Structure 1
Amino acid sequence: MTAFIMGQMEIHSRDWMEEYFARIPELVTRHVGKFVVRGGDPTRTEGDSPAPDAAFILEFPDRAHAEAFWNSKEFQTLATLRRSGSTLDSILVDALD
């Protein structure tokens, strides 16, 4: 069953972004994933919290591929870099059958 990782990001500095975004697409692809949404100019449609600076949706063939990507050493290295200048809220969800 298809699985998605969805995230909302607050960007505090941009120092990490060039390296991160140069490397993340290939890593997602290597884990049989793809970006469905990347950046996207988020606008809050409901709720009181501010809209995030950026949002993303990654699609994987199944939860196992999504978890393998997220837990990979390569991604965790990039996540450490990303955390140096941003805060991320993300979730992993399964698609409808």
Structure 2
Amino acid sequence: MTVYLIAELKVTDEAWLPEYVTHVHRIAARHNGRYLSRSTNVETLEGVPRDVTGIALLEFPSRDDVMALIGDPEYRPYREARRRGSICHYRLIDDTDIAGSIPYLGKPTGI
């Protein structure tokens, strides 16, 4: 089942960024991930704006692929640098429809 990794972050120290943005997309691709967006152009249309510098949206064929990326030894130093230089929130969603009424989305389990 397709899943989407939503990474929201607020950069507190930019030192890690050049190496991260140069190399991590290649590591993600090795785990079947692809960036759909990696942007600092974040506009709040409703609600209280979140204190974020940027948001990245990645697509993976499965949760297992995401977990393989997160556990990849080559990714580890980039992950640790990101954690030291930002406040980040990683969220994972699948391609289901909670109402089950959109035909091109899957129906959730356990609801």
Partner of 1:35: 35
Task: Give the 4+ runs in structure 1 shifted more than 3 A.
Answer: none
CA distance in 2, matches of 1:93, 1:73: 24
TM-score (norm 2): 0.79
Partner of 1:73: 73
- CA deviation after TM superposition for structure 1 residue 40, in Å: 4.5
- CA deviation after TM superposition for structure 1 residue 51, in Å: 4.7
Which has a greater percent of strand? Answer: 1
CA distance in 2, matches of 1:46, 1:7: 19
TM-score (norm 1): 0.89
Amino acid corresponding to residue 11 of structure 1 in structure 2: V
Partner of 2:60: 60
- CA deviation after TM superposition for structure 1 residue 45, in Å: 2.0
Number of residue-to-residue matches in the alignment = 97
CA distance in 2, matches of 1:17, 1:83: 11
CA distance in 1, matches of 2:12, 2:86: 5
CA distance in 2, matches of 1:37, 1:51: 18
For structure 2, the 5+ residue unaligned runs are: 97-105, 107-111
- Please tell me whether Structure 1 or Structure 2 has the larger radius of gyration of its CA atoms: 2
Partner of 2:11: 11
Q: Deviation per CA, 1:38-64, whole angstroms, max 9, x where unpaired?
A: 114011222224352100111001111
Could you tell me whether the CA contact under 8 Å between 1:35 and 1:57 is conserved in 2? yes
CA-based RMSD = 1.4
Overall identity of the aligned pairs, in %? 25
